[in-house]
């Protein structure tokens, strides 16, 4: 058994960011439980060909750890993984991280006022962790969503999700089907065309795509960034400002959205000459309703002889034949499922049991909720990073993680012996506040079905419907009144400081 003040589950951006925030708040008694064989989260698990970030690299990192060595405007996936490993080294966190140690369950022990975390069964790390506070830094893109396609199990060739890429599969010279046209697919398809015999792309819904642009940084650029930290800081500030400006076009400001949509339409027209294909690739919903994608390679790949675009979902699989909803039949050798993740229904929620014996999944049965996008009623001393309304549609998610981690560390630093129980009224008020802010946005009114909205309640549960500045200001206004007052001070118990 391991006894700590804070247990953090996950060692991706959120978990590492939380560890940094705890240290800066003077809290050293913590561990990170990581199910994988290395740190990195999403950037460890996703290794598909062409993977890169679509947020500028100098904004997609921790403020305390600027990286002058990024290869270009947009970092490759392996670079980001290496960056997180570097941060762990720089922060000296290795002795706090238990790899290959998944959280099997976590239960609030009301009598002892601690979290009991079962981390056993893997043969690594502690079997049981007892913690005063629990931080779920599990990420929102961790569990692949596998479509329920009749006959999929009969397909004789390689079948795998984009986030579980099978590097042993002999894909060269194969006829490969790609299911989905989201953020992963638009990177995968151009990469596959370089080696595949042919790529067949099944598109249920087209995406708005804008030019990616960006340049490779030269050795001189990297040397200049390393020698002049102020220049690097100024670049990050410029990128931050540009990201904040993008919120208007993504959320539905009519003028900004029209200008951005015009850019997307011009991009499509410039890269796809065939008017029939252009029509198939043109969304019928408002710009910003779904995630806006960045690519300079996707349209040329789809317009080439190397790709067949099927404007329909997969209906069923009959052995090596994939039948689309439009009735067309396609003989294929391999299938890549670029079908997204269980984002609005987080799998870890089934494992966490709160004050009244209710699981977090049950509490979230009509969509995720929290106060400050971070703390949840009925779950004492629990913090969720990258959870309810903590994602962004216009800028770097790392910025949100840093704000949440700072809030959690501040609350933990000042709590003393108090058990932090969120006032249900405060959580409801915050949820209503989110709903009012989201009501007029394109995510709610744009005429599409997106992964930001929970279909059980129709509420926006993934995205923060505002700027990063607004989120920072909102958490700054949290003065502790979001927590219920302790009726009496809890006496000291064995193993816990008074």
Closest CA to 192 of 49, 6, 347, 7: 49
Domain range summary for the chain, segments of one domain joined by +: 2-143+342-476, 152-208+253-337
| CA pair distance 471, 15, nearest whole angstrom | 20
Task: List alpha helices for 109-228, DSSP H.
Answer: 185-192, 219-227
Q: Is 124 helix (H, G, I), strand (E, B) or coil?
A: coil
Closest CA to 389 of 406, 379, 376, 377: 376
For the domain covering 152-208+253-337, report its CATH number: 3.50.50.60
The structure tokens listed for 369 are 């909720």
Q: Which fold has domain 2-143+342-476?
A: FAD/NAD(P)-binding domain (3.50.50)
pLDDT value of residue 140: 84
| CA pair distance 493, 490, nearest whole angstrom | 9
User: Could you read off the pLDDT of 63-90 as tens digits, one per residue?
Assistant: 999 999 999 999 999 999 999 999 999 9
Q: What is the pLDDT along the chain (498 residues), one digit of tens a residue?
A: 899 999 999 999 999 999 999 999 999 999 999 999 999 999 999 999 999 999 999 999 999 999 999 999 999 999 999 999 999 999 999 999 999 999 999 999 999 999 999 997 555 667 899 999 999 999 888 889 999 999 999 999 999 999 999 999 999 999 999 999 999 999 999 999 999 999 999 999 999 999 999 999 999 999 999 999 999 999 999 999 999 999 999 998 999 999 999 999 999 999 999 999 999 999 999 999 999 999 999 999 999 999 999 999 999 999 999 999 999 999 999 999 999 988 888 889 999 999 999 999 999 999 999 999 999 999 999 999 999 999 999 999 999 999 999 999 999 999 998 999 999 999 999 999 999 999 999 999 999 999 999 999 999 999 999 999 999 999 999 999 999 998 654 444 344 433
Length of the chain: 498
| CA pair distance 41, 403, nearest whole angstrom | 19
Facing residues of 97 across strands? 32
pLDDT value of residue 486: 80
| CA pair distance 159, 349, nearest whole angstrom | 28
Closest CA to 58 of 398, 404, 464: 398
pLDDT value of residue 122: 55
The structure tokens listed for 363 are 């509490």
User: What is the helix (H) or strand (E) element at residue 39, kind and residue range?
Assistant: none
CA atoms within 13 A on the CB side of 387: 28
pLDDT value of residue 121: 57
Is residue 187 within 8 A of residue 209, CB to CB? The reply is no
User: Could you read off the pLDDT of 309-340 as tens digits, one per residue?
Assistant: 999 999 999 999 999 999 999 999 999 999 99
The reply to whether 2-143+342-476 and 152-208+253-337 are identical in fold is yes
Q: Is 83 helix (H, G, I), strand (E, B) or coil?
A: helix
**DSSP sequence for 365-429:** TTS---BTTTB-TTSTTEEESS-TT-B-SSS-HHHHHHHHHHHHHHHHHH-TT----B-HHHHHH
Residues 6+ apart with CB under 8 A from 241: none
Q: Is 30 helix (H, G, I), strand (E, B) or coil?
A: strand
Q: How far is CA 161 from CA 183, 374, 485, in A?
A: 14, 30, 47
């Amino acid at each position: 058994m391991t006894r700590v003040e804070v247990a953090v589950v996950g060692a991706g951006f959120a978990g590492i960011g939380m560890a940094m925030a705890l240290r800066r708040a003077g809290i050293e008694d913590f561990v990170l439980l990581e199910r994988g064989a290395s740190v990195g989260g999403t950037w460890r698990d996703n290794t598909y060909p062409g993977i890169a970030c679509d947020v500028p690299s100098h904004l997609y990192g921790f403020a305390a750890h600027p990286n002058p060595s990024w290869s270009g405007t947009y970092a490759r996936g392996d670079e980001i993984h290496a960056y997180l490993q570097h941060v762990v080294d720089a922060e000296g966190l290795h002795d706090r991280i238990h790899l290959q140690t998944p959280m099997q369950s976590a239960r609030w022990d009301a009598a002892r006022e601690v979290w009991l975390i079962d981390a056993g069964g893997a043969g690594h790390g502690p079997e049981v962790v007892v913690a005063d506070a629990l931080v779920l830094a599990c990420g929102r893109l961790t569990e692949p969503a596998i479509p329920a396609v009749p006959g999929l199990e009969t397909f004789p060739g390689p079948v795998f999700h984009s986030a579980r890429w099978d590097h042993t599969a002999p894909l060269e010279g194969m006829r490969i089907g790609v299911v989905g046209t989201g953020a992963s697919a638009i990177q995968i398809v151009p990469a596959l065309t370089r080696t595949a015999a042919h790529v067949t792309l099944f598109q249920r819904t087209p995406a708005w795509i804008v030019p990616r642009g960006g340049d490779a940084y030269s050795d001189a650029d990297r040397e200049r960034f390393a020698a002049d930290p102020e220049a690097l800081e100024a670049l990050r500030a410029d990128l931050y400002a540009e990201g904040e400006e993008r919120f208007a076009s993504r959320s539905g400001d009519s003028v900004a959205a029209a200008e951005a949509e015009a850019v997307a339409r011009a991009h499509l027209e410039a890269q796809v000459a065939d008017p029939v294909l252009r029509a198939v690739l043109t969304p019928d919903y408002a710009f910003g309703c779904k995630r806006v994608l960045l690519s300079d390679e996707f349209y040329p790949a789809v317009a080439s002889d190397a790709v067949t675009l099927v404007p329909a979902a997969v209906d069923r699989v009959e052995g090596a034949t994939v039948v689309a909803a439009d009735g067309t039949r396609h003989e294929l050798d391999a299938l890549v499922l670029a079908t997204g993740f269980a984002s609005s229904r987080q799998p870890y929620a089934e494992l966490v049991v709160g004050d009244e014996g209710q699981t977090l999944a049950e509490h979230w049965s009509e969509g995720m909720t929290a106060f400050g996008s971070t703390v949840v009623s009925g779950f004492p001393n629990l913090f969720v990073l990258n959870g309810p309304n903590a994602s962004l549609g216009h800028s770097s998610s790392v910025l949100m993680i840093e704000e949440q981690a700072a809030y959690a560390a501040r609350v933990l630093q000042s709590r003393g012996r108090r058990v932090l129980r969120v006032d249900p009224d405060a959580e409801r008020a915050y949820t209503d506040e989110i709903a009012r802010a989201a009501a007029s946005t394109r995510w709610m009114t744009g005429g599409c079905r997106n992964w930001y909205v929970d279909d059980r309640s129709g509420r926006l549960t993934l995205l923060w419907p505002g700027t990063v500045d607004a989120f920072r200001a909102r958490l700054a206004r949290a003065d502790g009144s979001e927590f219920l007052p302790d009726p009496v001070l809890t006496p000291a118990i064995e193993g816990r400081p008074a």
